[in-house]
Amino acid sequence: MEVAIQTVGLSRSFGAFQAVNQVDLLVEKGTFYGFLGPNGAGKSTTIKMLTGLLAPTKGSISVLGQDPLVPEEALIMKSRIGVVPEDLALFDNLKAAEYLTFQGRMHSMPMRTLRMRIAELLALLDLEKDAHKLTIEYSHGMKKKLALAAALLPNPDLLFLDEPFEGVDAVASRTIRKLLTDFRDRGSTIFLTSHVLEIVERLCTHVGIIVDGKLVEQTALASLGSGGSLEERFLEVVGTDVAKQAQLSWLGERGA
Amino acid sequence: MLWMRSRILANRLNRSGKLSKALLSILVAGSFLVAAGLFVLALLVGLAELGSAEPKHILWTWIGLALGFLFFWMIGLMTELQRSDGMSFQNLLHLPISLGWVFLYNYVSSFVSLSILIFLPPMLGLAVALILVHGPLMLIGLLLVLAFFGMITALTYHLRGWLARLMEDKRRGRSIVMGITFGFILMVQLPNLINITVSSNSSQQRAEGRELHNQSLQRGPGQAEAVAKWEAFQQAEATKEEKIEEWVSLASMILPFGWLPFGMRASFEGRWLLGLLCAFGMFCLAGLSLRRSFQTTLVAIVQGGGAAIAVKKNTPRETAAARRSRGKIPLVEKKLPFIGRQASAIATAGLQSLLRAPEAKMMLLSPILMIGLFCFFLAKNENPASLQTIAPGMALGAIAIGILSFQQVLQNLFGLDRDGFRSYLLAPIPRHLILLGKNLALAPIVLCSGFVTIVVLQFFVTMDVQHFLGTLLEVFSAYLIFCMLGNYISIISPMRLQGVGMKASGAKLRFFLLQILSFVLNPLVLSPLLLPWGVESLQRDAIWVAWIPTYLLLHGLLLIATLVLYRWVLRKQGDLLQSREQLVLETITRG
């Protein structure tokens, strides 16, 4: 078994608040890993630590065999990964093609290859007609698509995607799903967070569920349980009583 | 709503850290003390001087105060061009509340500014002194002061709202920012130009007057004629003064901005109805402005902001591929000689961003105006030969001022990147190369401005070849020195910049203070560049070595030394950036 991501006792606190607590992740190469959790559970914090955007308070990380906390190893790791971060990483005053050119050059890609891939990506993600616009003028969905294009551009071995479908229209969402499936099929690894459980269920091979900073479930999707949907399992693990939440004492009354 | 606003302020303050809280408290207390001090000072001066004042003194005093306030107020407008409402209408529109109060709250919040703090208390102090000295009729003066501030703040609020609406269309917003900023920068430089022109003219007249006066005192056959000339000169001067006063008085009567001094003088002269009319006029303008502003704000929100007024032209644009086929390589694809691919990418993308960012364009305009001002100053000088000996010093001064005008970017390298800074951190690139790329991105603009300054200086004060070339080398050295300092400040006190404009937001107070401190101390770091000039001055006494081009040689050596130092420092700063990059990211991307 080849490991793409492994963390041991990964923790991160902000003052007294423990955002991520003793997380032991294990993601094999070639898997499509869905990282789930309710709002504020610690998903984005974990991705930030895995990609070197945030230092952990405790614990160790290994991404593609490299430690992102060691500068030299972090450089090797970053040359092999693609990231769509939660808050994106776009420059306001560059156009789509310019931003992608910048990204490609940062990965030392030859200009000829870069131009070809940029043209293909812009066409595939339906960004061609808005190529003359600056990214500051893009809608949130368009920005997400551009960030995804930037992540895919260097053809990485591992993709980190933080809510890649958020704000993306149905057509583009379908294109992206197909793209990611093809990406996984050729042996690359994808680590994805999403609130849309249906998408995770449809795409992922493995899931991890984080609640209040703790990894409470980590398994192959197929072995989640016979008959039960991911949503049911998720709600069970998260511990939310839907029926109880839906009850409001004053709901039967009218007026203020 | 007020409770909500107070909670927001309290929460923000609690998050800012103990030191920032303490500094802010000191700042607020200090502001109140300054305001009170200025009020008392103006009151005392008024009590001492206004008893013997003539109407024209009242006019000029209030014109001075009004113009001073307007000048500072406009500078404030430049730093915050768009209206940023304390309470967002968008967040409250769905609630069953009157938005009039929200609007009023936002308008009153716009009063919190340094210009009002500095000018309102002394104006009130002086107005109270006028009441005490000239009786209760001068209560109109208080009314005039309040009406003036009401009018200016209301008009400004209206203007800011209008601009904010226009800027919903981001491309058009850029042009507006550019145009208005250019106007403001010109206005900011206006006192300098007036000072240079007026002081030059008046010194000529004073010299002429002294000459005529001296001739009139000399006894002899021509004394009577000289006395007559002296009297005619005095008469002409008095007539000129009267004419100026007439024009100023007329302008004050016509322009609403002049109604404060005009009304003050009228009230002082006992024409209280005219004074009241001025106050009434200003209140009316304020009211109309606010009413219009409120209406347009509501319309803008309901119609979906600037979308209603945005008219986009779908003109066909040339694609990058088409440009390439014509042999024109896009800037972001260019590779810099002797520089690695990654640093080149950062440099070219950075330069492209800078050339497009309206906030950066605003900043780029100031060196152009600075050069214009420099030309004006040199052209006014009647004795260029006198400047030749101090030309190297002038050159260094001009270079320093030129580079300092880019300081907002040089000392906050990542501020304009905003979320884009994350790209650097996710990229497989050593951190010192990020700094190198950022320094190279600014180099063409800063160095060009430096070279143009030197060429301008050369045009007016012809330096010999040695000094001209040496000074050109000096531009490189000065830029490298500022880069080293700027990199350091950018890493240890990063600041987030707001959407439009170079105004930093949300940064910790100590970061602000550090930036200001470095701004003040910056010229000192250039002092080593004075060395060649100093050594050359000493060399003049030693005839046996006078033939050596010391100035040029030493500047060459200094440039090499600075390059070596820069290379060494860059690595260290790269490590520093590595250790603080998460803090920088957190600061500049904080919403």
Q: pLDDT tens digits, residue range A229-240?
A: 888 888 888 876
Inter-chain touch B426–A91, beta carbons under 8 Å: no
Q: State the pLDDT confidence band at A123, using cuts at 50, 70 and 90.
A: very high
* CB nearest to A88's CB, from B333, B417, B419: B419
Going by C-alpha positions, the residue among A46, A101, A193 that lies closest to residue B423 is A101
Query: Does B18 fall in a domain?
Result: no
Inter-chain touch B423–A101, beta carbons under 8 Å: no
Taking CA–CA distances from B354, the nearest residue in chain A reads A93
Residues B270 and B358 in one domain: no
Q: Which residues of A touch B357 (CB under 8 A)?
A: 92-93
B76, amino acid identity: G
Residues B272 and B382 in one domain: no
Q: How far is A96 from chain B (nearest CA, A)?
A: 11
Domains and CATH numbers, chain A: 3-93+153-245 (3.40.50.300)
Provide the pLDDT for residue B326: 65
Show which of B260, B287, B307 is a domain's final residue: B307
Query: Does B204 fall in a domain?
Result: no
Residues B440 and B558 in one domain: yes
* CB nearest to A91's CB, from B349, B426, B589: B349
Q: Which residues of A touch B429 (CB under 8 A)?
A: 75, 106
Taking CA–CA distances from A110, the nearest residue in chain B reads B341
**Rounded (10°) angle between helices B55-79 and B259-268:** 160
Q: Which residues of B touch A101 (CB under 8 A)?
A: 330, 332-333, 345, 349
Residues B268 and B378 in one domain: no
Q: If residue B33 lies in a helix (H) or strand (E), which one and from where to where?
A: helix B18-49
Give yes or no for A71 touching B (CB within 8 A): yes
CB B532 within 8 A of CB B492: no
Q: Which of B168, B421, B422, B586 to mutate to test the interface with A (most CBs of A within 10 A)?
A: B422
Q: How far is CA B166 from CA A80, B308, B309, B339, in A?
A: 44, 10, 7, 42
Query: Does B358 fall in a domain?
Result: yes
Give yes or no for B172 touching A (CB within 8 A): no
Query: Does B102 fall in a domain?
Result: yes
Q: How far is B312 from chain A (nearest CA, A)?
A: 12
Report phi then psi at A193, rounded to 5.
-115, 145
Query: Does B212 fall in a domain?
Result: no
Residues B417 and B290 in one domain: no
Provide the pLDDT for residue B140: 93
Residues B135 and B266 in one domain: yes
Query: Does B211 fall in a domain?
Result: no
Show which of B283, B307, B331 is a domain's final residue: B307
CB B326 within 8 A of CB B420: no
Residues B280 and B353 in one domain: no
Q: How far is A216 from chain B (nearest CA, A)?
A: 28
Taking CA–CA distances from A88, the nearest residue in chain B reads B419
DSSP character for B167?
Answer: T
Residue located via tokens 């020195």:
B481
Provide the pLDDT for residue B539: 78
Residues B426 and B290 in one domain: no
C-alpha B537/C-alpha B545 separation (Å) is 12
Q: Determine the distance from the C-alpha atom of residue B380 to the mean position of all C-alpha atoms in its chain, rounded to a whole number.
A: 24
Domain assignment of residue B300, given as a range: 28-199+247-307
Q: How far is CA A176 from CA A17, A70, A168, B454, B555, in A?
A: 35, 33, 9, 55, 58
Q: State the pLDDT confidence band at A118, using cuts at 50, 70 and 90.
A: very high
Provide the pLDDT for residue A50: 96
Q: What is the pTM of this model?
A: 0.74
Q: Which residues of A touch B342 (CB under 8 A)?
A: 105-106, 108
Residue A240 CB partners (closer than 8 Å, separation 6+)? A38
Q: H-type helices in B218-307, by residue range?
A: 223-254, 259-268, 272-302
pLDDT at A61 over 80: yes
C-alpha A247/C-alpha B443 separation (Å) is 64
Domain count, chain B: 2
Provide the pLDDT for residue B73: 83
Provide the pLDDT for residue B308: 38
**Rounded (10°) angle between helices B431-460 and B465-492:** 140
Other C-beta atoms lying within 10 Å of the C-beta of residue B569: 20
Residues B295 and B349 in one domain: no
Q: Which residues of B touch A131 (CB under 8 A)?
A: 319
C-alpha B254/C-alpha A149 separation (Å) is 61
Going by C-alpha positions, the residue among B94, B423, B402 that lies closest to residue B102 is B94
Mean pLDDT per 10-residue run, chain B (591 residues)? 76 75 84 92 92 88 91 74 61 73 80 84 94 90 94 87 69 65 66 66 75 79 81 85 86 90 92 93 94 79 49 52 71 90 94 81 70 75 74 87 84 87 93 96 91 88 89 95 93 77 61 77 85 85 76 95 97 95 86 53
Q: How far is A228 from chain B (nearest CA, A)?
A: 38
Provide the pLDDT for residue B313: 45
- Report the relative pairing of strands A58-63 and A3-14 from DSSP bridges: antiparallel
Going by C-alpha positions, the residue among B159, B184, B191, B181 that lies closest to residue B82 is B159
**Which residues, in sequence order, are bridge partners of residue A215?**
A210
Residues B258 and B371 in one domain: no
Residues 416-455 of chain B whose Cβ lies under 8 A from any Cβ of chain A: 417-423, 425-431
* CB nearest to A79's CB, from B332, B354, B428: B428
Give yes or no for B539 touching A (CB within 8 A): no
Give yes or no for B341 touching A (CB within 8 A): yes
Residues B354 and B434 in one domain: yes
C-alpha B66/C-alpha B278 separation (Å) is 14
Provide the pLDDT for residue B307: 40
Residue located via tokens 């630590």:
A49
Provide the pLDDT for residue B309: 39
Chains A–B, number of C-beta pairs less than 8 Å apart: 110
Give yes or no for A51 touching B (CB within 8 A): yes
Give yes or no for B175 touching A (CB within 8 A): no
Query: Does B241 fall in a domain?
Result: no
Give yes or no for B356 touching A (CB within 8 A): yes
Provide the pLDDT for residue B502: 54
Provide the pLDDT for residue B305: 46
Q: Which residues of A touch B430 (CB under 8 A)?
A: 71, 75
Q: How far is A1 from chain B (nearest CA, A)?
A: 27
